[in-house]
Amino acid sequence: MPAKEISKPISEATGPTGESSPLKEISVSTVETTKRIDEPPRRSKVSIKGINAWFGSKQALKNISLEIEENAATAFMGPSGCGKTTLIRCLNRMHEMTPGAKAKGQVILDGIDIYDKSIDPVIIKRRIGMVFQKPNPFPTMSIFDNVAAGLKLNGVKDKKLIKEIVEESLEGAGLWEEVKNELDKPGMGLSGGQQQRLCIARALAMQPEVLLMDEPTSALDPIASSKIEELVHQLKKHLTIIIVTHNMQQAARVADHAAFMYLGEMIEFGKTLQIFQYPKQELTEKFVSGKFG
Amino acid sequence: MSENTGKKERFHRREVQRAMVKNARKAKIIDKIVSIFAIACVILAVIPLTSILIEVIKNGIAAFNWDFFTGRPSAIGRAGGGIGPAIQGTLIVVGLATMIGAPIGILTGIYLSEFAGNGPFPNGVRFFNEVMTGLPSVVMGIVGYILIVLTLGSFSVWAGAFSLSLIMIPIVSRVTEETIKIIPNSIREAGHALGIPKWKITLFITFKSAISGVLTGVVLSIARIAGETAPLIMTILGTSLFFTGFNSPVDALPLRIWRLSSQPYESAQTQAWGAALFLIMLVLVLSVALRLLAQRRGFAVKAEI
């Protein structure tokens, strides 16, 4: 994972002290990584083609197209109100559930357009998991039931299977060791970071192919946030992850690809390394160097 | 220049602080007055409540004995006898009314909060709900009388339960709608994101999260209908016999209290007090029991969501 090794120095290099030693490390490693920047993308899992979205009469997304690589993490970043959350909510047809909101365009998941008329938006959400900005475990359910809810309410009846998946999902979300003896306690009793990992486990239990994360750490403290970031590195081995963040250091740390958005438009999209080190657009350069946003 | 602004700032700070000190003194006094006033109002409201309760207990407890709870009313003017048929009748009529009214009210509330939106039809339903809540209960009695008593040709348990359920439905639907609306949208979204069909989200996640509030509404409305007298006169009529069938008249506590208290004999008066005390206890026990049940099952919604 080249991005992971290099991301640390980058985030430090974006600070004002440009001549610190990490930067030298980068300049050495870039020699090897320049090739990788131009490497052709691997299989694309989701391709977004000309998505437009509105809230009432206000256009929130303007003709956005990009390819999301399979089993990698892609970050959408940009200042508040740039449409990154709207974009991620268009990817599982959650956007149109807001009253007055609509979306047009194509989002192709493994060759199927999820905006096709014949597609049931409910079914699509079973293949694409989502984690929200604020942890939102089901208030009346135990830890176990929170994770099992998606399976049970979608008709999975095999109790043994559910039990296995719950354990596997909690392990996948890095929460198993902390909660294995209190699975019947209410999910709301956990700390904020644990609740968020519970929500990740709940999404993982549905065996999704894509996991959408909408600013998953913005309500968490730094330690809880770093645990979630660690998790993203683990999960992207066999899951396509799309993460929205307004924190560019986070984008640099976790993402293989990054998209920079501004006022509903996609300004630049590419490998994280390229976006941070060789941004093609002036606006992107200003954003990643902390001059605005 | 900078020194001048500094001076000006210092002056402003002094002025603001002086104003705030002055204001704080005033605020403290107003604070006291308002809290004293509030406490006085609470006491004023509690005095009649407790005095009623004390009076009922003082006068009613004397009537309590085994025969009083199980026996039939004795002939007018004779001591002894009991309110057995009234207790039985109240339990049957109120129970039946709850079985009719609570599901309809709850489903109406769920419809209004989760499915209806703000169109003219749901707004019409909301408006009529409000009107029905304010309607005098005797009107419900008349409705029950005309629709059921006249149709079936006799006063009956059905008619009473029907009239009482008409009182119950708007209360329950209102409380259900309000409680479910409080459940934050993020909870519903979490359900949608798992690809759960909407009716299952509504029933097993949203409604389940709101159930303690809904139960409170049901208990409130049960308490309300258990004490209704006017609609029962026109529907179940009242009798001194135990329950004989759903198509015949039956007794109820409020009716019995009314009958007993309108008799000039002291034994009857005491029994009226006793029946009133029992009715209060019945409602109290019911609401405490339902609330405990709600807590035991962990249905209570936590404040932090």
In a domain? residue B256:
yes
Residues B51 and B83 in one domain: no
Residues A125, B205: C-beta atoms closer than 8 Å: no
Q: Which residue of A140, A141, A200, A212 to mutate against B (max B Cβ within 10 Å)? A: A140
Residues B285 and B202 in one domain: yes
Whether the pLDDT of residue B25 is over 90: the answer is no
In a domain? residue B187:
yes
Whether the pLDDT of residue A166 is over 50: the answer is yes
Q: Which of B196, B209, B302 is the closest to A154 by Cβ? A: B196
Percent of chain A with pLDDT over 90: 66
Q: Coil, helix or strand for A241?
A: strand
Q: What was the ipTM of the complex prediction? A: 0.81
Residues B38 and B23 in one domain: yes
- Count up the domains in chain B and report the number: 2
Give the residue from B13, B36, B63 where a domain finishes. Answer: B63
Give CA separation, A237 vs A1, A172, A240, A270, B254, in Å.
10, 12, 8, 20, 71
Residue A219's contacts (CB-CB under 8 Å, 6 or more residues apart) are: A133, A134, A135, A192, A196
Give CA separation, A200 vs A75, A191, A227, B88, B113, in Å.
17, 14, 12, 54, 29
Alpha-carbon span B19 to B26, nearest angstrom: 11
Residues B113 and B48 in one domain: no
Distance from CA of A189 to the nearest CA of B (A): 10
Give the residue from B38, B63, B88 where a domain finishes. Answer: B63
pLDDT of res. A293: 61
User: Which residue of chain B comes nearest to A137, CA vs CA?
Assistant: B187
Give CA separation, A255 vs A248, B275, B277, in Å.
10, 74, 70
**What are residue A279's phi and psi, to 5 degrees?**
-65, 140
**Interface residue B201 vs chain A (CB under 8 A):** yes
**Interface residue B185 vs chain A (CB under 8 A):** no
Alpha-carbon span B227 to B254, nearest angstrom: 6
For A278, what's the count of Cα atoms within 13 Å in the CB-facing half-sphere? Answer: 11
In a domain? residue A293:
no
Distance from CA of B63 to the nearest CA of A (A): 45
pLDDT of res. B301: 43
In a domain? residue A119:
yes
Distance from CA of A144 to the nearest CA of B (A): 15
Residues B119-127 have a mean pLDDT of 94
**Would you tell me how many other CB atoms lie within 10 Å of the CB of residue B170?**
24
pLDDT of res. B287: 82
User: Which residue of chain B comes nearest to A90, CA vs CA?
Assistant: B193
Distance from CA of A32 to the nearest CA of B (A): 41
Cβ distance A50 to A63 under 8 Å? Answer: yes
Residues B31 and B138 in one domain: no
Q: Could you tell me the residue range of the domain that residue B111 belongs to?
A: 66-296
**Interface residue B21 vs chain A (CB under 8 A):** no
Residues B305, A206: C-beta atoms closer than 8 Å: no
Give residue-wise pLDDT tens across range B211-251: 888 988 898 899 999 999 999 999 998 998 999 999 999 99
Give CA separation, A232 vs A213, A216, A240, B130, in Å.
10, 11, 10, 52
Give residue-wise pLDDT tens across range B176-186: 999 999 999 99
B124 dihedral zone (left: phi>0; alpha: psi -120 to 50; beta): alpha
- Element containing residue A107 per DSSP (H, E): strand A101-109
**What are residue A170's phi and psi, to 5 degrees?**
-65, -35
Position A11 confidence tier, pLDDT thresholds 50, 70, 90:
very low
**Interface residue A266 vs chain B (CB under 8 A):** no
Cα dihedral A194, A197, A199, A205 in deg (nearest 10) = -130
Strand pairing report for A112-113 and A101-109: antiparallel
User: Residue B235's domain is classified under what CATH number?
Assistant: 1.10.3720.10
Distance from CA of B94 to the nearest CA of A (A): 30
Cα dihedral A121, A126, A127, A131 in deg (nearest 10) = 100
**Interface residue A153 vs chain B (CB under 8 A):** yes
Cβ distance B89 to B236 under 8 Å? Answer: yes
B111 DSSP 8-state letter: I
In a domain? residue B304:
no
Residues B202 and B88 in one domain: yes
Give CA separation, A248 vs A33, A82, A284, in Å.
20, 14, 11
Residues B14 and B59 in one domain: yes
Residues A153, B196: C-beta atoms closer than 8 Å: yes
Distance from CA of B170 to the nearest CA of A (A): 27
Residues B106 and B250 in one domain: yes
Residues A153, B200: C-beta atoms closer than 8 Å: yes
Residues B104 and B73 in one domain: yes
Chain B hits for A137, CB-CB cut-off 8 Å, are 190
**Interface residue B195 vs chain A (CB under 8 A):** yes
Give residue-wise pLDDT tens across range A238-291: 899 999 998 888 999 999 999 999 999 999 999 999 999 999 999 998 888 888
Residues A119-127 have a mean pLDDT of 90
The two structure tokens encoding residue A291: 């001059």
Of B168, B171, B136, B157, the C-alpha closest to B232 is B157
Residues A149, B186: C-beta atoms closer than 8 Å: no
pLDDT of res. A40: 54
Give the residue from B42, B63, B84 where a domain finishes. Answer: B63
Whether the pLDDT of residue B133 is over 70: the answer is yes
Q: Could you tell me the residue range of the domain that residue A163 belongs to?
A: 2-288
Chain A hits for B186, CB-CB cut-off 8 Å, are 132, 134, 136
Give residue-wise pLDDT tens across range B106-120: 999 999 999 988 889
B78 dihedral zone (left: phi>0; alpha: psi -120 to 50; beta): beta
pLDDT, chain B, mean: 90
**Interface residue B296 vs chain A (CB under 8 A):** no
In a domain? residue B191:
yes
The two structure tokens encoding residue B254: 């409020």
Residues A138-155 have a mean pLDDT of 93
Alpha-carbon span A212 to A222, nearest angstrom: 21
Give CA separation, B146 vs B96, B98, B231, B235, B279, in Å.
19, 21, 12, 9, 28
pLDDT of res. A29: 43
Helices (H), strands (E): how many in chain B? 13, 0
**What are residue B42's phi and psi, to 5 degrees?**
-60, -45
Q: Coil, helix or strand for A109?
A: strand
Whether the pLDDT of residue A35 is over 50: the answer is no
Residues B106 and B218 in one domain: yes
pLDDT of res. B136: 93
pLDDT of res. B286: 86
A139 DSSP 8-state letter: T
User: Which residue of chain A comes nearest to B204, CA vs CA?
Assistant: A153
pLDDT of res. B98: 96
The separation between the first and the last C-alpha atoms of chain B, rounded to the nearest angstrom, is: 52
Percent of chain A with pLDDT over 70: 85
User: Residue A218's domain is classified under what CATH number?
Assistant: 3.40.50.300
The two structure tokens encoding residue A240: 């396509």
Give residue-wise pLDDT tens across range B254-303: 999 999 999 999 889 999 999 999 999 998 898 888 878 777 665 444 43
Chain A hits for B192, CB-CB cut-off 8 Å, are 94, 97, 122, 125
The two structure tokens encoding residue B221: 């409305």
Whether the pLDDT of residue A3 is over 70: the answer is no
- Count up the domains in chain A and report the number: 1
The least confident of A16-30, B139-153, B199-213, B288-302 is A16-30
The two structure tokens encoding residue B56: 């009922």
Give residue-wise pLDDT tens across range A199-218: 999 999 999 999 999 999 98
Residues B50 and B111 in one domain: no
Cβ distance A206 to A173 under 8 Å? Answer: no
Residues A129, B193: C-beta atoms closer than 8 Å: yes
B145 DSSP 8-state letter: I
The two structure tokens encoding residue A94: 């959650």
Count how many pairs of residues, chain A against chain B, have C-beta atoms within 8 Å. Answer: 83
pLDDT, chain A, mean: 85
Give residue-wise pLDDT tens across range B135-147: 999 999 999 999 9
The two structure tokens encoding residue A91: 């990817």
Residues B71 and B179 in one domain: yes
Of A195, A123, A130, A202, the C-alpha closest to A162 is A202
Residues B68-97 have a mean pLDDT of 91
